[in-house]
């Protein structure tokens, strides 16, 4: 028996861009695309102030330049509509994480939440790799010299080891951490992994050792690159604090493509200013956007990426693929891809 119509909250731009993909996925599964009724942000509520929305697809155009701490009008309108939809059953997000407060709020209402995990894996891996390579070859120093029209040759320096003789600790063994590990292993690096449950990631030809989140301190003393690729949870908030930063060699680098709150940012600033770390590649911050007066902007050994590691030209299409598969699964009462749960 066919389901009744499903009202889908989606922006006009999002629906125009992904309508064909959504309808094709439904048709391919023997479902009627006419069951989907789009509800756009311009829609009016009923007399009770409610919307008849059961499913929502949060596309990137709605989030725009909003951050967790700075919600711009378009995203706020979307949030208001979600909160005014008592029949909402499921929302598909575009990012890999659920650390925006709205998702936990919806989960507490028993609304199902699915993420875009895996959609931007290659982009984040390539960005993290670019950061590692840039730091290893002292590109920030070269950029400063270039601005000053100064020929700053690296000949004769003893701080240019090849990656093949260096090591990395990767915290977070989801799609990004695992794929980055494979790339770095190909370059000859020695790798240690850190994850919630080491039993799910047995030691293999990529990792020499895998630790839990409360057991990896011993590995830090011999680490050249500490790479953060973990989700933001209660367990990972403030994971890299002053104590753990102090365990790293002064020649070590920090790479953060996880979330800003995973690191004690003030402790990191102090470590960098005192040259207790060689440098950092930072894609995420606490807060975001990074305040204009943050000293991180001016530390020569820091490369700042404005939370763009996961963005690439085809990201929206990749997330739409996940949503389309999930939409079919939703109609067929099957498990959803990347479903998140309150912890």
Q: What is the pLDDT of residue 183?
A: 98
Taking residues 38-47, report their average pLDDT: 98
Q: What is the pLDDT of residue 204?
A: 84
Q: Which domains, and CATH codes, for the chain? A: 6-119+313-340 (3.40.50.720), 121-304 (3.40.50.720)
Q: What is the pLDDT of residue 3?
A: 57
Highest mean pLDDT among 64-68, 153-157, 276-280: 276-280
pLDDT tier at 68, thresholds 50, 70, 90:
confident
Question: What residues pair up with 227 in beta bridges, in sequence order?
Answer: 170, 255
Q: What is the pLDDT of residue 1?
A: 41
| Three-state SS sequence of the chain | CCCCCEEEECCHHHHHHHHHHHHHHHHHCCCCHHHEEEECCCCCCCCCCCCCCCEEECCHHHHCCCCCCCCCHHHHHHHHHHHCCCCCCEEECCCCCCCCHHHHHHHHCCCEEECCCCCCHHHHHHHHHHHHHHHHCCHHHHHHHHHCCCCCCCCCCCCCCCHHHCEEEEECCCHHHHHHHHHHHHCCCEEEEECCCHHHCCCCCCEEEEECCCCCHHHHCCCCEEEECCCCCCCCCCCECHHHHHHCCCCCEEEECCCHHHECHHHHHHHHHCCCCCEEEECCCCCCCCCCCCHHHHCCCEEECCCCCCCCCCHHHHHHHHHHHHHHHHHCCCCCCCEECCC
CA–CA dist 225, 177 (Å, integer): 13
For 149-193, write each residue's pLDDT tens digit.
Answer: 999 999 999 999 999 999 999 999 999 999 999 999 999 999 999
Q: What is the pTM of this model?
A: 0.93
Whether 46 shows a pLDDT value over 80: the answer reads: yes
Q: What is the pLDDT of residue 88?
A: 98
Taking residues 267-285, report their average pLDDT: 98
| Cα–Cα distances in angstroms (integers) from residue 4 to residues 7, 45, 55, 81, 277, in the given order | 10, 20, 13, 21, 59
For 84-137, write each residue's pLDDT tens digit.
Answer: 999 999 999 999 989 999 999 999 999 999 999 999 999 999 999 999 999 999
For 211-262, write each residue's pLDDT tens digit.
Answer: 999 999 999 999 999 999 999 999 999 999 999 999 999 999 999 999 999 9
Mean of the per-residue pLDDT values for the chain? Answer: 96
pLDDT tier at 69, thresholds 50, 70, 90:
confident
Q: What is the pLDDT of residue 201?
A: 86
Beta strand pairing call for 339-340 and 302-304: unpaired
Q: What are phi and psi of 243, to 5 degrees?
A: -65, -45
Cis-peptide into 289, omega within 30 deg: yes
Whether 25 shows a pLDDT value over 60: the answer reads: yes
């Amino acid at each position: 028996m066919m389901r009744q119509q499903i009202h889908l909250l989606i922006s006009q731009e999002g629906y125009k861009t992904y309508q064909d993909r959504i309808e094709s996925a439904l048709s391919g599964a023997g479902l009627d695309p006419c069951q989907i009724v789009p509800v756009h942000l311009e829609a009016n509520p009923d007399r009770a102030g409610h919307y008849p929305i059961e499913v929502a697809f949060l596309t990137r155009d709605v989030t725009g330049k909003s951050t967790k701490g700075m919600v711009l009008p378009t995203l706020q309108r979307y949030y208001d509509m979600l909160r005014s939809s008592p029949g909402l059953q499921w929302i598909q997000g575009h990012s890999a994480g659920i650390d925006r407060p709205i998702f936990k709020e919806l989960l507490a209402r028993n609304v199902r939440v699915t993420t875009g995990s895996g959609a931007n894996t290659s982009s984040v891996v390539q960005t993290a790799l670019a950061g590692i390579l840039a730091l290893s070859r002292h590109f920030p120093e070269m950029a400063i010299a270039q601005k000053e029209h100064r020929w700053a040759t690296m000949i004769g320096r003893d701080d240019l080891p090849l990656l093949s003789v260096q090591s990395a600790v990767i915290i977070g063994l989801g799609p990004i951490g695992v794929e980055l590990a494979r790339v770095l292993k190909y370059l000859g690096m020695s790798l240690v992994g850190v994850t919630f449950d080491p039993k799910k990631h047995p030691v293999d030809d990529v990792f020499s050792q895998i630790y839990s989140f409360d057991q990896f301190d011993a590995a830090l003393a011999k680490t050249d690159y500490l790479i953060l690729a973990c989700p933001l949870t209660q367990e990972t908030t403030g994971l890299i604090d002053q104590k753990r930063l102090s365990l790293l060699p002064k020649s070590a680098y920090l790479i953060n493509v996880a979330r800003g709150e995973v690191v004690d940012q003030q402790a990191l600033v102090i470590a960098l200013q005192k040259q207790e770390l060689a440098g950092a590649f930072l894609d995420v911050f606490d807060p975001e956007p990074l305040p204009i007066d943050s000293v991180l902007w001016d530390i020569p050994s820091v490369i700042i990426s404005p939370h763009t590691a996961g963005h690439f030209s085809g990201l929206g299409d990749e997330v739409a693929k996940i949503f389309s598969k999930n939409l079919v699964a939703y109609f067929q009462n099957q498990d959803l891809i990347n479903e998140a749960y309150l912890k």
